[in-house]
Structure 1
Amino acid sequence: MRLVLSVLLTAVLSIALLGCQSTEPPKEISLAQADPVMLQLFSIKTLAGFTLRVPQSEAVARLSTFVETPRPWVSGDYSDGPVRGQVLLGYRDLQMTNARLAGSQLMVAPFVVTNQGSGSFWYLGLFGLKAESGTATHLSSVFLGDRIELRGISVAASQFLPLTVTTELLIRDANQAMAETPGLLELRRFEINPQGQLLALD
């Protein structure tokens, strides 16, 4: 009886182990298949794209096209009901931080949202990059202004959260028309908190 049970148990375990083994090796992603934005920005071959959540909207935009003038952008289109627009990420101003959250390396970058109107709405975005899985996740955004000019972004060198991010902007004073070039320098500070949110400090 014991011999019969032993034989049956061995057979069941062998079948289970064979079922767990994959007969196909993992497929290598070719350069032609890889998302071009993730490949150029992070040297990661992945099928997953870099998508941004459009603030005050349910829409998302997958970044797809590099534009070098009037400044270096990578852009993507979005639609939100009848509204059609574009999101432009300033990839030359993308700053990798030394901090990690839930296995992701945190990074910040400015992006602009445009639609059929005349505005160009600037935001600072917080993103998490997982090189192992080849994914970039949009975690949080803060509004910077309409038709401003960004002069620079600096991030504290700490590995620990909260982490301070400082932006240098040119904005308009109260008497300037929106059509005029902004000329008032403003420093604004933000904090990346342990929950993966960007919060204004000033």
Structure 2
Amino acid sequence: MRLVFSALLTAALSIGLLGCQSTEPPKDISPEQADPVMLRLFSIKTLAGFTLKVPESEASARLSTFIEAPLPWVTGDYTDGPVRGQVLLGYRDLQMTNARLAGAQLMLAPFVVTNQGSGSFWYLGLFGLKAESGTVSHLSSVFLGDRIELRGISVSAGQYLPLTVTTELLVRDANQAMAETPGLLDLRRFEISPQGQLVSLD
């Protein structure tokens, strides 16, 4: 009786273990299947995309198209009710930091939001990149200005938060029309908080 029970138990365990094993190897993602933005920017083959949250909106825009002139951008479209617009990320100014938050490497990049109006609203975005899972999260944004010129972004080199971020901008003075080229130098400082938010220091 014991021999029969032992044989039945062994057979049941064997069937259970076989059921837990995958008979197919994990499928690799080919370059043709991979999201082209994630592949070009980070050399990561993933089906997930790089999606930006449109500030002051419930909309989001998945980046999809590279533009080289007049400036190097990667763009994506969004719809917010009756409003249709575009988000443009300045990927040449993307700054990787040495800090990590919840397993993600933090990085900064400027982006512009446009719609049917005449404005081009510039923001600085904070993002978290998880290379292992091939995902990017949009963590925070701060407004820089309307139709400004960005001259540079610098971030402190530490591994631990908070980190200080400095942006160098050209803006208009109070007497300039929006149609005129901005020429007033403006340095703005921000902090990446331990909670993964961009906070103004000025």
Indicate whether the TM-score tops 0.5.
yes
2:139 alignment partner AA: L
Aligned to 1:63: 63
Q: Give the length in aligned residue pairs.
A: 202
Answering whether residue 194 of structure 2 is matched by residue 191 of structure 1, we say: no
Return the offset for 1:8: 3.3
Following the alignment from structure 2 to structure 1, what is the Cα–Cα distance between the partners of residues 175 and 84?
Answer: 31
Q: Look up the SS of the partner of 1:38 in the other structure.
A: helix
Return the offset for 1:17: 1.2
TM-score (norm 1): 0.97
Please give the per-residue CA displacement for 1:109-149, whole angstroms capped at 9, x wherever unaligned. 00000000000000000001111111111111011011010
Aligned identity (percent) is 86
TM-score (norm 2): 0.97
Gaps of 5+ in 1: none
Aligned to 1:47: 47
2:40 alignment partner AA: Q
Q: Look up the SS of the partner of 2:100 in the other structure.
A: strand
2:133 alignment partner AA: S
Gaps of 5+ in 2: none
Q: How does 1:1-202 map to 2 (within 5 A)?
A: 1-202=1-202
Following the alignment from structure 1 to structure 2, what is the Cα–Cα distance between the partners of residues 5 and 126?
Answer: 61
Following the alignment from structure 2 to structure 1, what is the Cα–Cα distance between the partners of residues 158 and 45?
Answer: 29
Return the offset for 1:2: 4.2
2:23 alignment partner AA: T
1:20 alignment partner AA: C
Following the alignment from structure 1 to structure 2, what is the Cα–Cα distance between the partners of residues 193 and 4?
Answer: 65
Return the offset for 1:13: 2.0
Please give the per-residue CA displacement for 1:16-47, whole angstroms capped at 9, x wherever unaligned. 21111111111111111111100110011111
Q: What is the CA RMSD across the aligned residues, in angstroms? A: 1.0
Following the alignment from structure 2 to structure 1, what is the Cα–Cα distance between the partners of residues 184 and 80?
Answer: 33
1:162 alignment partner AA: P
Following the alignment from structure 1 to structure 2, what is the Cα–Cα distance between the partners of residues 198 and 3?
Answer: 68
Following the alignment from structure 1 to structure 2, what is the Cα–Cα distance between the partners of residues 5 and 155?
Answer: 68
Return the offset for 1:157: 0.3
Please give the per-residue CA displacement for 1:52-103, whole angstroms capped at 9, x wherever unaligned. 0000111110101000111110000000111000000000000000001111
1:39 alignment partner AA: L
Return the offset for 1:172: 0.8
